Chains A and B, each alone.
Chain A
Amino acid sequence: MYQYTDFDRQFVHQRAAQYRDQLERNLTGQLADDDFRPLRLQNGWYVQRYAPMLRVAVPYGELASRQLRALAKIAREYDQPSHELLSTALAKQAELGTKALAVGYGHFTTRQNVQFNWIPLDKSADVMDLLASVDMHGIQTSGNCIRNITGDALAGIAADEHIDPRPYCEIMRQWSTLHPEFAFLPRKFKIAVSGAAEDRAATSWHDVGLHLIHNDQGEVGFKVLVGGGMGRTPIIGRTIREFVPWNQILNFLEAVVRVYNRFGRRDNLYKARIKILVKAEGQRYFDEVEAEYQAILAHDGGQHAIPQAELDRVAACFKAPNITLDDTADTAETLLATLSTKDQTEYQRWLQQNVKPHKNPALRAVTLSFKRLGLAPGDASADQLDAAADLAERFSASEVRVSHEQNLLLPWVRASDLPALWQAARALGLARPNIGLLTDIIACPGGDFCALANARSIPVAAAITERFQDLDELFDLGEIDLHISGCINSCGHHHSGHIGVLGVDKDGREWYQVSLGGADGSTLSGDAIPGKVIGPSFAASEVTDVVEALLDTYRNQRTPGENFIHCVRRLGLDPFKAAANAARHETRDAGQVLNVHTNSADALTD
């Protein structure tokens, strides 16, 4: 993992002090709410439906166990609404049918960050100090700026990786942090990086997608995609350059972002992302970036060319930890021998779904499943965060990764430790063998928390999870990406789901549009593409039936060994549409009234 220098540490403390000054001015009436909003957003503080939300940056998803413990402390001590606030929130959500709201939890997001839902704003500066004490912050996790850079959760360990992206991610993180020219872009700006054969970072769906590659001469550089994004107008990124030498990537990004800052639309929130500029201008945008890049190099002296020594310094932090491969295989055998037949089966399933191969043949990457009955996808209680830190220390060189699928991955597990890890994870309820399967649902917090949402996501995920509890059935259905967003901002990545569910507002009631055939760009899913809507939206009470109808169609018509997504591609949408339509049973006024729509100005900067 990256190790903070004194400079880095001082920097996050200075940022925390700056935020405290701004907060105090706001709380004492010297800084108006409208003027404070973009400042707090760029530190990760939103105001949601009932309370502030904090989004903590987890650069490219890497966390040390000591940082997990700090997040646990925040969940336990700060993610606590007053009794009065919680009562109000519960009463309002109860009108929709929500029976409980998680308190004292951290939430893993689709951008590998961690969110909290209940921290009072007057405690926010204290939380920033606490984060700074473990080399963390909320810098640029919101606002119209360069956001936290995301990457492959298997970076540095994947068997199919050409180049470890993490040192480059870290250098880009530092470059983008408090960049003075790019703090008020037309809209948010997201960068994702992959260095492996398989794209596990959904790079085509980002404002900038970077692929670390070798060119014909064997030199390292980046293939650069630009203009991808979800939201109201889903667009797949286009290749702007086949190869930028690794040491020039900051200079190239400077050109990409400067041209966007100057020419991106600012008159319409929904047309302000770079994807709209790239779509509208096409080659003209590419030419402008190329000219700007050449001017940066030739005229400005290419000041941000990365020196080899700097890459070496940062890369040294990402050396694989020293893991003693002592002979624990016997213990593992002994442990396995004590398992019942039923447990043996469950263990084998866990090995199959939750354990991935590793660059080092003696090691494995193990995913802890945070997709389980009764809890929102990606939610972790304070105790579970601490317990995950324990597992990381015992089994994974004190390191975890937040995956964009909202789980935690242990990257340095000895193969011989797998039985013991499985037992420990199972005792914590984190060993459900459903990674990559239907119930490994990606979902945003939705209308139970978020002020932007048109509909709730968590109850939809819960209902589907509840219906599909049978592991035999889940394994028979195979790998399926089911993604749920509570609104068109697409935090739940519904566009890229094999099955996508999108909350929509019809006459103030919550309805759900279902789409089919989306892809994130992974090997299983194929080239990134948005799913197609299969018809008019459905009532909440119909969604689970619709999902089941889609799956039944697949089960009835699949060829041997054919995955759901491949079956959808082969058959086309019609048979699925017909089945989904047959599952309609509600009258058109059946949607729940989301009567607590807020007009929070934060909705302008998700």
Chain B
Amino acid sequence: MTENNHNAAQNIYKPAIMKIVGRHDEAPGVRTMRLEFQNPADHELFKETYRTGMFGLYGVYGEGESTFCVASPETRKDYIECTFRQSGRVTSALANADIGDLVTFRGPYGNRFPLEEFYGKNLLFIAGGIALPPTRSVIWSCLDQREKFGKVTIVYGARTVADLVYKHELEEWMQRDDVELVLAVDPGGESPDWKHRVGFVPTVLEEAAPSHENCIAVLCGPPIMIKFTLMSLKKLGFDESNVYTTLENRMKCGVGKCGRCNVGSTYVCKEGPVFTAAEVSRMPAADL
């Protein structure tokens, strides 16, 4: 095989090189890393294209690439933050990397949350467990331009107190008077000093009973939580077209070629990962 170093922009499978500049342990097995672009041209491209909701393929050469969201908001593009649970080869290699080490990033890919359409509206964010990272990207994108939105409510639940991610940001949101934060852990997951709710996200949501009037809901979580939370949102009067969620499927290319992320005829990588609940309900449920 001939080896040639041609223009990087031509090779759609070539990732950008990133330096780890920060890391933080969120919960057992869950880590956040802050990455900085090493090549200014890659960074410029990211700044031009990244919008909240998009995802990327994070990699370690020798191990491979894994798909997860960009957890940092579109209002802060000096770096990329990602939060992941260590579970396979790639995430283990990422977790073992130190500050100063180099890893790779390919993206950002996919569609985005249409923030302009949310201007002037109340926002309800609902997240479960490790699904706070994609939600957090939207939350900060909105809080960084707080004046453009109405009331902001965040409902976040995890299995146990230890499993809550972004604990110091939860603290910060708790202190803010322009954010209403409802925290919950599953029954049995509370610690002796737990002062917040105990219960599953759908139940807690129904108790908090946010109004659907002029409100957009952003919902991220495991499939089972999504299913029941959608039913609760319906009870609360939310229209499916005002509820946004993200789908996550296994991906290899991220750009519509490797052929595995589709749900029915919808390619999650290119047409998603952000969908309204109305769009999701038109997809064949057996393929989700």
Partners in one complex: no
